[in-house]
Chain A
Amino acid sequence: MFDEIDPRNPIPLYDQIAARIRLAVASGDLAEGDALPSVRQLAARLRINPATVVQAYRALEREGFVEMRQGSGTYVRSVSTDRRRQTREDQAARLARDLLTEAARLGIAGTEVARALQREMGARAQ
């Protein structure tokens, strides 16, 4: 789940981690009651500053995705279907935004991107 954390991406590391967990919850990969890796474990595994992991977990706690229990760890909370849908929509919106920005940088119009998207989706359906 965390293999592609990229420190070179302008999106802060804690945000990248939080986003992954958010999506895992939204898609059902992480269910209510599941334990997230401990700060120590995750920081060591990813070789990042433990404060970054704490920041990610705290952000998720504020949003209501997880709860940090003193002494035992961080656990996933139950998340409504609406909430999950919203999360997926937010992520899709982000992807769209990034795609269009990149396209603009390369000088490709939004309509051209949309057409390519349709074609690609059609090809995949088959």
Chain B
Amino acid sequence: MFAAICRIQWKASALGVALLATLAFIIPLLTVQQAGFSAGDRRGWDLIVMLSAVETAGTLFPILAVILGLTLSVGAWSADHQAEHVYALTLPVPRWHYVLLRFGAGLLLIAPVVAAVGLGCAVALGSFDLPAGLRSYGGAITLRFALAAAVSYAATFALAAGTKRTTAAVVGVLTAVIVLALVLEAFGVSTAVAEGIMNAIFTRPGPFEVLVGPWSLIGV
């Protein structure tokens, strides 16, 4: 059953995954090239400029991870939405079992993109000699990317399964909270609540900490 679900989910997500995998492979290569590491001689203050370029480029990874998570969530449920969910409800497996199958299939589809990140990093880092004092974080980035994609996927999976009405409701509530926090911020009213929530989510041990951590391919 799992294999069958994987096959149809791959069909629904293949294009998105292929596109994102291509991007995932290119980002490390472009990062290294744009930062100037592949050029000839580097010295002193140039390194600082190059490293900050790498850090900036690194922000593309979490963005890609979130997009991947979203794409796979949508891919997991698009067929059921089109068929109005009736088919799944007439299968001889309990609903939770079916949901798990869908979830697992999507999770598996993260792998090719993660592999592309890993490969891209390896190729990019292998194209030049690392100057003394610097370290590369290809493996760490790849792992962090995998985790970030998985977390984004899990977070959006339930939403993608719901009806348009519930999705709109959840998005609406989130937007309202964020807007409210920003407005209050603008008026100088520091909302410990908003800050508290943001901290809980985006710093360790919150689930989304993985998105805001260090994403630099090369650092000290």
Direct A–B touching, Cβ under 8 Å? no
Q: CB within 8 Å of B: which residues of A?
A: none
